[in-house]
Structure 1
Amino acid sequence: MLLLSHWISVQAAPAQSLVTQLPGFSSTFPSKHYSGYISIDGNGESGKNLFYYFVSSERSPEKDPVVLWLNGGPGCSSFDGFVYEHGPFNFEAAKSKGNLPTLHINPYSWSKVSNMIYLDSPAGVGLSYSKNTSKYATGDLQTATDTHLFLSKWFEQFPEFLANPFYIAGESYAGVYVPTLALEVVKGIRSGSKPVINFKGYMVGNGVTDEIIDGNALIPFVHGMGLISDSIYEDLQASCKGSYYNAYSMDENDLCFKNMEKVDRAIDGLNVYNILEPCYHFPDAATATVNGSSLPHSFQQLGATERPLPVRTRMFGRAWPFRAPVKAGPVTLWPQLAETRHVACVSDEVASAWLNNVEVRKAIHAESEKVAGPWELCTSRIEYRHNAGSMIPYHKKLTLLGYKALIFSGDHDMCVPFTGSEAWTRSLGYKIVDEWRPWNSDNQVAGYLQAYQNNLTFLTIKGAGHTVPEYKPREALDFYSRWLEGKAI
């Protein structure tokens, strides 16, 4: 209770943020929901107004961990996680145009075992906004600073959760968001800033980490999965000498580049976000556009999932290069990629229809389209710079300070392959304390795990793609809850 004493005068869980009903949902909420804006620079609408949706735990909200969830992009809304992955509801598409989706309780929601904050970050993403559009120019370091400030202000409004263990989680480009934010939180704790956040650790799924390791991960993945022949792989090894990453900038007459073109032809047409899942090809992929130009970091499948409802439709173009490794400097956003590359794309009609509905926005205390703009899964209105470098030094610093980390990968994702995550976790040089082995869920092998000293765990999820909780919701809740509770996976 010492953590609470300094903030006891602050109003707990602001009543004006309580969500009392949601269009499309006719039953009783399984726990309390809160949502709204926190202005992080004190300038009202001209400042950065970050939108959050908070789902309290359905088990023991006063004791269960608080987990901040961040989707990637950069530029993609964390409502991706809320609607399509591990939020409290499953969304059933409306049977007729103009009607809202129907919401059902999600049996595999992560709010079964934790308090969840879904944050649209940085400003300009999702429902977060500023009237001063110059504030939409940002990058890794500024986003980490802003999100840390958001957390401080959020805990001031919800001081009853300060004593709860706090974790940061995310996927894809959140492989950058999570460790950079975690280090900012740690700096705040060590400097004695208030409120004191009870930070315990973090988790990253299929996360962008290191320019070179990410860039070299594709070839071992496609060879190991049987997508290219041994002879193509041997030619690549001889001509590229293990540095496949450099092929992105080579002359087209270079032998390594030509061998990489063989890979292009071999994997062209695959669903890059789960190679097991089917693709829809545009009649003319070169000129195709996307409804609302919303292109996400993740494009999940409709079929093999334990969710009983259709989630979203998929449309895919060419497979490679679907996204070159993220280099230092300005980052090309997904809607911008769509204008120049044959990339995978998605129609997120369910989320768009729901979050752009006037009554839904009122219910969740979000500003109207006139103020905050239309909700898009991924936006092109921000300018974003990758300026934090490799995440490996961040992971090393955080784990050596005693914070636990779970690095998990859907093992059939070709966008950020597990081969890269396995390589960089091994590169830290930590002693193996639990050697590569299967882990089980529902008495079946659900993936593989290798644990290292300093509370670092690398884990794969068998058959899952880029967004693990959507492809394998039961298994995801299983490893998530065990890891949070400190139990063996």
Structure 2
Amino acid sequence: MENTNTSFYLFLILLSIFLNFVLTQPAPENSLITQLPGFNGTLPSKHYAGYVTVEKNYGRNLYYYFVTSEGGNSSKDPVVLWLNGGPGCSSFDGFVYEHGPFNFEKPKTRGTLPKLQLNPYSWSKVSNIIYLDSPAGAGFSYSKNDSGYSTGDFQTASDTHTFLLEWFKLYPEFLSNPLFISGESFAGVYIPTLAHEIVKGIEAGVNPVLNFKGYMIGNGVTDRNFDGNALVPFAHGMGLIPDQLFEDATKECKGELYGRHRENIKCRSLLIRVDLAVGRLNIYDILEPCYHSPDTLVNATNVPHSFRKLGETVKPLPIRKRMFGRAWPLGGPVEDGIVPSWRQLSEGRAVLCTDDEVATAWLNNDAVRKAIHTVDKSVVKEWDLCSDTLIYDHDAGSMIEYHRNLTSKGYRALIFRSISKLLVVYLISSSLCKNLYYFIPIIYDDSNCSSYVT
């Protein structure tokens, strides 16, 4: 009997050692990025990239680019998942243009690579961040079967949850780190639905158990009524439309300040006047010029000629084809059902006011693609900021209940918006928080203020 007990305890010890070894294996070395074309010097932290298969029947494979934190405490710093919107936009949008580890300097000579300089404001200063191309069809992510490009809110959330579970098996040393998920634009749908899947998995005891703490959403899609009714009050508050037009539209449209209003012709005409008043402004940032090709007709606008000239850019490709990843560019809410592609909405025209020349040049360079471990061009021919490959069904409805359920369980939520973004405007966040019965603090930070020169 004593020998039996000894053997049993020895077995437990060996099993514990084995499991500890398996669960603490370091990140896969074949995913390590050792150098990046355009950057001279040593990378500020370890970078990894590769693919995770999330669905085997259709062969859906999601591409990720992982940046460990630069502060020397990557074993403790939070892991942050970043998703751009669309649906169908690559999260390299966030990597190149927003909070990635580098600033990309536009080359002076056409056809040469951008120069990469370290970004002092990168999120990787304080976190380990995963830039994920999701769903399959966005960026470098792909499906072996074309049927895999037909998806929706629920399927995308399930696939991304599977990605996280499999990713932490590849990088188990980060499993104990706090996990936050974040994104912008249509990620206002991606994030709450993904958070719901994560919490459901945690409560069901799915392994590995994710140390999920909360989520962040910037300029996110929320709900048909919230999103649709925010633009006109915002345009009025920013002085873009006159008081009389705002008052007439509010009264005549009876609280529904979006849609076609086929029955109410007077309301429709007033909303058309609002659209004309803000036409040709940069809908993603009204304080910035609207980027356009030099041969684009931009004379039919009240925007000053000098401001229009600032936005001239030469795009190397006839892009973009789907809703831009930083804000919803349709002047109205996201409707339930199949989300139309930009090509369908704009008859092939490029997305207004956007300039993705730098990202397009860098990410389609053969040396860059080799360095960051993408599949061969026979699988993903070229990188696009936003894809029109998807057939995407917005099938999850309003995000209000998702936010309510998640926050009621104690998960932290940060919902933020730019005060200069004409679409998916900040008034939505205010209205959402009030609907969830949360107090909205007014924060003054004079360190972000600069003086005026007149």
Report the TM-score, using the length of structure 2 for normalisation. Answer: 0.86
CA contact (8 A) 2:185 2:325 kept: no
Count of aligned pairs between the two proteins: 416
Question: Which residue, 437, 444, 450 being the options, matches 2:442?
Answer: 437
The aligned residue for residue 69 of structure 2 is: 57
| In structure 1, C-alpha distance between the alignment counterparts of 2:20 and 2:171, rounded to whole Å | 10
Q: Show the 5 A alignment for 1:60-459.
A: 60-245=73-258, 248-251=259-262, 254-280=265-291, 283-284=296-297, 291-295=317-321, 297-298=323-324, 322-339=330-347, 344-430=352-438, 432=439, 436-440=441-445, 443-444=447-448
Q: Deviations over 1:369-403 (max 9, x none)?
A: 21122100000011101000000000000000000
Q: CA deviation at 1:439?
A: 3.1
| In structure 1, C-alpha distance between the alignment counterparts of 2:218 and 2:100, rounded to whole Å | 16
Q: CA deviation at 1:210?
A: 0.3
| In structure 2, C-alpha distance between the alignment counterparts of 1:343 and 1:79, rounded to whole Å | 17
The aligned residue for residue 50 of structure 2 is: 36
| In structure 2, C-alpha distance between the alignment counterparts of 1:8 and 1:396, rounded to whole Å | 40
Amino acid at match of 2:271: M
Q: Deviations over 1:381-439 (max 9, x none)?
A: 11101000000000000000000000001011011011112111111123x2xx54233
| In structure 1, C-alpha distance between the alignment counterparts of 2:336 and 2:64, rounded to whole Å | 29
Amino acid at match of 2:274: V
CA contact (8 A) 1:273 1:299 kept: no
Amino acid at match of 1:153: E
CA contact (8 A) 1:66 1:117 kept: yes
| In structure 2, C-alpha distance between the alignment counterparts of 1:335 and 1:81, rounded to whole Å | 23
Change (3 A) 1:6 1:169: farther
Question: Secondary structure, in 3 states, of the residue corresponding to 1:371?
Answer: coil
The aligned residue for residue 48 of structure 1 is: 60
The aligned residue for residue 20 of structure 1 is: 34
| In structure 2, C-alpha distance between the alignment counterparts of 1:426 and 1:8, rounded to whole Å | 49
Q: Deviations over 1:304-347 (max 9, x none)?
A: xxxxxxxxxxxxxxxx9834311000001234333178952534
Q: Deviations over 1:249-279 (max 9, x none)?
A: 3127611111112212211121111111222
Change (3 A) 1:184 1:280: closer
Q: Percent identity among equivalent residues?
A: 55
RMSD over aligned Cα atoms = 2.5
CA contact (8 A) 1:439 1:445 kept: no
CA contact (8 A) 2:290 2:352 kept: no
Q: Name whichever structure is richer in strand by fraction.
A: 1
CA contact (8 A) 1:130 1:372 kept: no
| In structure 2, C-alpha distance between the alignment counterparts of 1:290 and 1:384, rounded to whole Å | 27
| In structure 2, C-alpha distance between the alignment counterparts of 1:80 and 1:439, rounded to whole Å | 29
Q: Name stretches of at least 5 consecutive residues in structure 2 with no aligned partner.
A: 1-16, 300-313
Question: Secondary structure, in 3 states, of the residue corresponding to 1:437?
Answer: coil
Amino acid at match of 2:154: L
Change (3 A) 1:296 1:91: farther
Deviates more, 1:266-275 or 1:141-150: 266-275
Q: Name stretches of at least 5 consecutive residues in structure 1 with no aligned partner.
A: 301-319, 447-489
| In structure 2, C-alpha distance between the alignment counterparts of 1:414 and 1:160, rounded to whole Å | 42
CA contact (8 A) 1:293 1:335 kept: no
The aligned residue for residue 311 of structure 2 is: none
Change (3 A) 1:55 1:21: same
| In structure 1, C-alpha distance between the alignment counterparts of 2:18 and 2:358, rounded to whole Å | 44
Amino acid at match of 1:54: F
Change (3 A) 1:342 1:22: closer
Question: Secondary structure, in 3 states, of the residue corresponding to 2:370?
Answer: helix
Question: Secondary structure, in 3 states, of the residue corresponding to 2:190?
Answer: helix
Q: CA deviation at 1:296?
A: 6.3
Deviates more, 1:328-337 or 1:376-385: 328-337
* Larger Cα-atom Rg: 2
Q: CA deviation at 1:349?
A: 1.6
Amino acid at match of 1:34: Y
Question: Secondary structure, in 3 states, of the residue corresponding to 1:265?
Answer: helix
| In structure 1, C-alpha distance between the alignment counterparts of 2:130 and 2:228, rounded to whole Å | 32
Change (3 A) 1:349 1:5: farther
Question: Secondary structure, in 3 states, of the residue corresponding to 2:103?
Answer: strand
